[in-house]
Chain A
Amino acid sequence: MKKFMNSADDFLKESLKGFGAAHQDIVNCHYDPNFITRATPTKEGKVALISGGGSGHEPMHGGLVGYGMLDAACPGFVFSSPTPDQMLAAAEKVDSGAGVLFIVKNYSGDVMNFQMAAEMMQGPNESVLTNDDVAVEDSSFTTGRRGVAATVVVEKIVGSLAEHGGSLQECKALGDKVNKNSGSMGVAFSSCTVPAAGKPNFDIGDDEMEFGVGIHGEPGRRRDKMKSAQEITNELLEAINEDLKPETNEEILLFVNGMGGTPLTELYLIYDNAKNMLDKKNIKISRSLVGNYCTSLEMQGASITLTKLDEELLKHWDSSVHTAAMRWGV
């Protein structure tokens, strides 16, 4: 294992300290329990958005704290859910009285811990559970689909509504709507190493890829031989389209997300290849996002997320945002 680290025990803390110092105009990092808030207090009457999850997916979620998006993020240990004490401390700090909306990716650890926090919390709160990953076939499995990169889209759009005075119920409803209108699927070329583990999470051959991979490198649909970028992109989009069923001329957001170890050069190449296919199908790409937003440590790979956009979603996507990882309109 080669990593920039001094000790596995201090890995997260040092990274959080660096994040807080580098973006002190936007965020405040709090420790023991660990949570990240905006540098400025929540506006009176504004619904507070809190997300969180295991670390190792940066910039999600700490990099999405700031004006127009999250009010707080709770980072767990690497690839391990945060805990109720973090969520409760964050809620106490950012709840202005208008209530708290938890945005949770559908992973059992995250779900259980946010559920316990919601049970222990005194004030009004709601949760949005994202489950955009189409890789896991729908079945009787109650754990259901995984929540992955579309969580970024949910946080942007609901963040805008909350900023513009949306109520707790309205924010929850919009979050559910964005999630329902989104589909994602990823592919990995290499594994990733949790610092405390010191060795790769899974083995993968030089000529292989994990098709439908999860954001911790957990297996997806199948192990395939490497293919051309256009073929991989087509297969990802076919899987998403089959689930999301965008109509001809429907407007969509095309989000190409890097998993940490794939250069932007390749992400833009995927964008081009995805555009080729969507153009042929007369699906209108009206907004785009390309970059590393929902990562899996140093994993080589990428995911594609499509979100169907209506007027309401477009408006909130375009509105101003100022976070460490996303900034426009300000």
Chain B
Amino acid sequence: MSVNFLIHRAKEIQAVIDANASEIEKLDQEIGDGDHIFNVQRGIKLVIELEAVIKDLPISKALNQIAMKVLSGIGGSSGALFGTLFMTMAKGKDIDNGVDYKKAIEIFADGVEAVKQRGKADVGEKTMMDVLIPVSNCLKKGVEDNKDVKEILQEAIEVAEKGMFSTKDLLATKGRASFLGERAKGHIDPGARSSQLMIKTVCESVLNS
């Protein structure tokens, strides 16, 4: 993982999110307040616009800049949560000496753990954590079991999709959807959908490279 890798994945994510924007917006209007898609689109745009500033920086500094940018540029819960994710990844030990896939998985998992603390949300509460936590666990387990990287990423794509669909029948206890009680049942969580799309995009991109 390099700064160049981050920028390219951000551009691919932008295309995928844009292509699915109206679907995500509709999900949010059903159970949220309708701002999720704008937050996500604004955040990705801001990261891409950072290219000139971060392209020659060590990855820890680049990740920190991305963190501050999404934090200040997105706002809402998404900004705080994604800001926490990147800020934690930036603190990964020795990452400026190179980040192989094992290291990338390690810092991603640390980031997801920090997001879990920030949002105080766990699996089963109808949030993006229903995608991020299982994906993080699946990636870590893949490394522990010495699986081939392609196999790990293929599994992560499947786990992300399963996690996303699982939010449909869950009762929300976190985020604005929690104010709906039973009424949120039957709707996929928009944050779970957008994060699943991001995971899928990054994993597929690595698989196809």
Contacts and interface: CB of A to CB of B under 8 A. Distances in A.
Contacts of B98: none
Given A80-B35, A197-B25, A202-B29, A141 B178 contact: yes
B174 A143 contact: yes
Given A33-B72, A219-B183, A81 B77 contact: yes
B173 A79 contact: no
Q: B interface, how many residues as a size bin?
A: 20 to 34
Contact of A109 (B72, B80, B179, B183): B80
B176 A108 contact: yes
Interface in B1-56: 25, 29, 32-35, 38-39
B176 A218 contact: yes
Given A84-B71, A142-B120, A113 B174 contact: no
B79 A83 contact: yes
Interface residues of A, number: 38
Nearest to B173: A141
A9 to B, nearest CB: 10
Contacts of B33: 79, 201, 216-218
Interface in A143-158: 143, 146
B176 A107 contact: yes
A78 B42 CA distance: 14
Interface string B136-177: 000000000000000000000000000000000000011110
Chain B interface SS verdict (over half): helix
Given A116-B83, A136-B179, A194-B34, A77 B71 contact: no
Interface string A101-120: 00000011100110110000
A77 B80 CA distance: 14
Contacts of A82: 75
B58 interface: no
* Most chain A C-beta atoms within 10 Å of own C-beta, residue among B72, B74, B183: B72
A194 B34 CA distance: 8
Contact of B81 (A112, A140, A143, A219): A112
B57 interface: no
* Most chain B C-beta atoms within 10 Å of own C-beta, residue among A82, A115, A136, A196: A196
Nearest to B70: A83
A143 B178 CA distance: 8
Contacts of A301: none
Contacts of B35: 77-80, 194, 196-197
B206 interface: no
A201 B25 CA distance: 10
A218 B35 CA distance: 12
Given A80-B38, A83-B73, A140-B173, 5 more contacts: A77-B38, A108-B175, A113-B75, A201-B29, A219-B183
Considering the complex of A and B, which 8 residue pairs feature the smallest CB-CB distances, nearest first? A112-B80, A109-B77, A109-B76, A216-B33, A80-B75, A80-B76, A85-B72, A83-B72
6 contacts: A83-B72, A85-B68, A109-B80, A196-B38, A218-B33, A219-B179
